[in-house]
Amino acid sequence: MTDEPDAGPAERRLDEHLELLRASPPAPGTALVPRVVRTARWQSFLRAPLRVVGMIGLAFVQGLTTLFGGKGKSP
């Protein structure tokens, strides 16, 4: 908490809000962990196919750039 005499009204108001939050912190929901695990599972399932699609797209673009002589150099 800011007890400095030069603290502005915004800082004092913020301290009041933070004090209210410290007095009654929100309880964690019971559905949070299963929801995070479920999200991580489907994201990891899609990671490999999306990476393959991205690599094919990159190869296609690099092939077209090489074929038609793009303005920039290929890496």
User: For residue range 4-26, what is the model confidence (pLDDT) as tens digits?
Assistant: 667 789 999 999 999 988 998 87
Delimit the domains of the chain by residue range: 9-68
Query: pLDDT per residue over 21-41, tens digit each?
Result: 899 887 878 888 899 999 999
pLDDT tens digits, one per residue of 46-71: 999 999 999 999 999 999 999 998 66
Q: What is the rounded distance in angstroms from the CA atom of residue 74 to the CA atom of residue 26? A: 53
12, 2 in Cβ contact below 8 A?
A: yes
- Place 1 in a pLDDT band, splitting at 50, 70 and 90: low
pTM reported for the whole predicted model: 0.46
